[in-house]
Amino acid sequence: MPSVFHIVVCGSIVPDPLQTLEPITTPTGPALKNELMLPAVLDPWAWHALFEAANLAKNNPGSKVWLVALGPKAKLQQVMMSVAQKAPFELVVIDGPASGFTESAEVASELAAAITSIAGLDKTKLLLFGGWESASRGAGTTLPMVGERLGITDQFQGVDQISVQPDGSFEVLERIEGGKHQVSTCAGAPALLGWATGNLPEPPNNPQVGMANMRTLMPALQKAKPAKVTNTGLAYASVALPKQRRETRIVKDMPADEIAQEIVAWIRAD
């Protein structure tokens, strides 16, 4: 008999990874140069968490997915038009910065408060999903703090797979060193899963899913509450870019061994 989960995915926007980013200092703290002009995407870690959540909900009828996003709502609105075609979810928006220069604790408090206020959310069925390194400049600190504030003690990070058993327990594969996974079994919800990339392909764009999501997207954006997070108190010191030497070639179907040998030779020659 399938289990019923209430899956909350924490995920917000980041600048398109294809853009070149330049940190700057502003009167309100550190920021990215031309941040509002940059194209944005849903944080790739959160993307995967959302796909996994949608898949889990699909395979466990009665389950439901919420996407809780802390970000500038104008940009969120734009990005949601792409995201909303991928998977059914209900959006919860907190209007605030998503520059990567916010404190994990402050962000976690806002996310936890927003999750707590979701009407109809049953915390006994809660699976808290998110990107394992999201909203923390890669430190992996934010999502665990959200879990702590919600009283979730079963936490898994670097998750690539979840397999739900008939009794409602589930097996979790977490990444560890050496390209291996640690296999754990959790008795059931509530639990926190910080996702790595998972195993699922990106779902196709489905206009009907988009239309269904649209019913909650705009109201969620309109009633977004301002976040109580600031960049003040932080100072941007410096950033050092790796020494770049661009030698571009486009080569198709080159064996991995040859690529590796070429890179090693290049490093040794430097």
Partner 1 sequence: MTQDSVSESPVVDRQSMAVDIVCVGFGPATAGFLTALSKKLVNPDGTPIAESAAMPGMPPQVIAYERADDVGFGVSGVVTPARSIKAAFPGLDPAQIPMAAPVKTEKVAYLLDPVGASRRSLALRTADGVLKLFKGKHHAIELPWIPPFLAKHDGLVLSMGQFMQWVGGQVMGSGTVQVWPSMPVAGALVEDNKVVGIRLVDQGVEKNGAATGAFMPGMDIRAALTVIGDGPVGAVGQQLDRELGLPKDHHVHDWAVGMKFVIDLPESCTLEPGTVLHTFGYPEPEIFGFLYVHPGRIASLGIFVPSWFDSPVRTAYRYLQHWMLHPWIWRHIEGGTLRSWGAKTLQESGRRGEPHLVGDGFARIGEGSGSTNVLTGSGVDEAWATGTLLAEAVTELLKQGKPFTRENLESTYVARRRASWVDAEGRVAERARDGFQRGVVTGLIGMGLAGLTGGRLRAPGKPMPPHKRLPTIEAFYRGRISAEEIAKIRAECLAKGTPLHLALMDRAGWPAIPLDGKLLVSHQDALLMGGKVQAPGGYADHVVFPFPAICATCDQRTCVEVCSGQAIAHGPDGVPVFDREKCIHCGACLWNCARERPDGSGRTVLEFRAGSGGLHSAEN
- By CB under 8 A, residue 216 contacts partner 1: no
Window of 16-24, 44-52, 129-137, 255-263 that interacts with partner 1 by CB under 8 A: 16-24
C-alpha–C-alpha distance, residues 60 and 50, integer Å: 15
SS3 call for 61: coil
- By CB under 8 A, residue 262 contacts partner 1: no
β-bridge mates for residue 182, sequence order: 174
C-alpha–C-alpha distance, residues 1 and 59, integer Å: 11
Q: Which of 27, 61, 166, 201 binds partner 1 (CB under 8 A)?
A: 201
Residues numbered 32-61 forming contacts with partner 1, rule: CB under 8 A: 34, 36-39
Least distance between partner 1 and beta carbon 96 (Å): 17
C-alpha–C-alpha distance, residues 74 and 62, integer Å: 32
Residues numbered 82-141 forming contacts with partner 1, rule: CB under 8 A: 82, 85
Residue 220 near residue 90 (C-beta atoms within 8 A): yes
| Residue nearer to partner 1 on the CB measure, 78 or 153 | 78
C-alpha–C-alpha distance, residues 135 and 90, integer Å: 20
- By CB under 8 A, residue 241 contacts partner 1: no
- By CB under 8 A, residue 204 contacts partner 1: yes
| Residue nearer to partner 1 on the CB measure, 36 or 265 | 36
Residues in contact with partner 1, counted by CB under 8 A, come to a total of: 32
C-alpha–C-alpha distance, residues 43 and 142, integer Å: 14
**DSSP code per residue over 86-118:** TS--EEEEEES--SS-S-HHHHHHHHHHHHHT-
Which residues are near partner 1 by CB under 8 A?
Answer: 16, 18-20, 34, 36-39, 74, 77-79, 81-82, 85, 201-202, 204-208, 210-211, 214, 218, 222, 246, 248-250
